[in-house]
Amino acid sequence: MKTITFLLLHIIAISSAFCPHHHHTHQPQKSRIHPPKSPPHLTTESDVIALVEKAEQLWAQAYQARQSANELSEKAESLGVTAEKSAWDAREELLTSVSLAKIGEAQLAQNLSLDLGALLKEVEEAQDRADEIERRAEEALKASEGALEQHLIDFPENA
């Protein structure tokens, strides 16, 4: 035990001879021991497949969202034609004379116009949703392409 203590003190004394002496105030030295680096993550084939599948799912969702937006748009177009005709007919009727029935037609035309406004808002929201899903799908596609490139770097034998 005395020999081990002596050797440790001797090693410390020798190593201190190679350490710079500070004439100024003593400042603690930073540890020269670097933490072990974590092993790099290799992009596996299953990583690439998962990203491709995610992109495919998003593109399918984007397609469905775009289809829904288009259907709403067509419905709005049809309602717009109906509302325009109804408003024109009600205007023509009210120009000749005013009656309760003619006022009812004018109110129907007004309600169709309100319905059209609400439907146009739905169309805009549906298009925004579809745009957002398409944006995410495009990002997912780029991520899968990048992962494939990295996989071929990590595993050149698969190229």
Q: Does residue 87 sit within a domain?
A: yes
Residue 140 is part of which domain span? 45-158
Does a structural domain hold residue 49? yes
Mean pLDDT by groups of 10 residues along the chain of 159 residues: 40 43 49 52 94 98 98 97 95 90 92 96 98 98 96 91
- Look at the pTM and tell me if it is higher than 0.75: no
Please report the pLDDT score of residue 33 as a whole number. 53
Q: What is the largest CA-CA distance in the chain?
A: 122
- Per the domain annotation, does 75 fall within a domain? yes
Amino acid 41: pLDDT: 86
Q: Answer whether residue 132 is part of any domain.
A: yes
Tokens standing for 58? Answer: 């998003």
**Terminus-to-terminus CA distance in the chain, angstroms?**
60
User: Total domain count for the chain?
Assistant: 1
In a domain, 92, yes or no: yes
34 is a domain residue: no
Residue 37 placed within a domain = no
Report pLDDT for 159: 83
Please report the pLDDT score of residue 6 as a whole number.
41
- Identify the pLDDT of residue 158: 86
CA separation (Å) from 110 to 17, 133, 148?
96, 35, 57
Report if residue 18 sits inside a domain.
no
